Structure 1
Amino acid sequence: MNGVTVISHPLVQHKLTIMRKKETSTASFRRLLREISTLLCYEVTRDLELTTERIETPLMEMDAPLLEGKKLVFASILRAGNGLLEGMLELVPAARVSHIGVYRDHETLQPVEYYFKAPGDLDARLVIVVDPMLATGNSSIAAVDKLKERGATNIRFLCLLAAPEGIKNFTEAHPDVPVFTAAIDDHLNELGYIVPGLGDAGDRMYGTK
Structure 2
Amino acid sequence: MTASVKVVDHPLVQHKLTMMRRREASSAEFRKLLHEIGLFLGYEALKDLPLGHVMIDTPVTAFNAPVISGKRLTFISILRAGEGLLAPLLDLVPGASVGHIGLKRDEVTLQPSQYLFKVPPHVTTNLVIVLDPMLATGHSAIRAIADLKEAGARNIRFICLLAAPEGVAALQEAHPDVAITTAAIDEKLNDIGYIVPGLGDAGDRLFGTEDH
TM-score using structure 1 length: 0.97
Match of 1:39 in 2: 40
State the alpha-carbon separation in 1 of the partners of residues 60 and 35 from structure 2: 37
Paired-residue identity, %: 59
How far the C-alpha of 1:156 sits from its partner, in A, is 0.6
Q: Give 3-state SS (helix, strand or coil) of 2:121's partner.
A: coil
1:2-151 aligned at under 5 Å gives the runs: 3-151=4-152
Maintained 8 Å contact 1:165/1:187: yes
Maintained 8 Å contact 1:3/1:171: no
Q: Which consecutive segments of 4 or more residues in structure 1 shift more than 4 A?
A: none
Maintained 8 Å contact 2:3/2:178: no
Deviations 1:143-174 (A, max 9, x none): 00111111111111000000011011100000
Maintained 8 Å contact 1:77/1:101: yes
Q: Give 3-state SS (helix, strand or coil) of 2:203's partner.
A: helix
State the alpha-carbon separation in 1 of the partners of residues 182 and 35 from structure 2: 15
Aligned residues: 209
State the alpha-carbon separation in 1 of the partners of residues 208 and 35 from structure 2: 16
Match of 1:181 in 2: 182
Maintained 8 Å contact 2:3/2:177: no
Deviations 1:106-126 (A, max 9, x none): 111001101011112212211
Q: Give 3-state SS (helix, strand or coil) of 1:202's partner.
A: helix
Match of 2:200 in 1: 199
Q: Give 3-state SS (helix, strand or coil) of 2:161's partner.
A: strand
The unaligned stretches of length 5 or more in structure 2 are none
The unaligned stretches of length 5 or more in structure 1 are none
How far the C-alpha of 1:2 sits from its partner, in A, is 6.3
TM-score using structure 2 length: 0.95
Answer with 187-196 or 47-56: which moved more.
Answer: 47-56
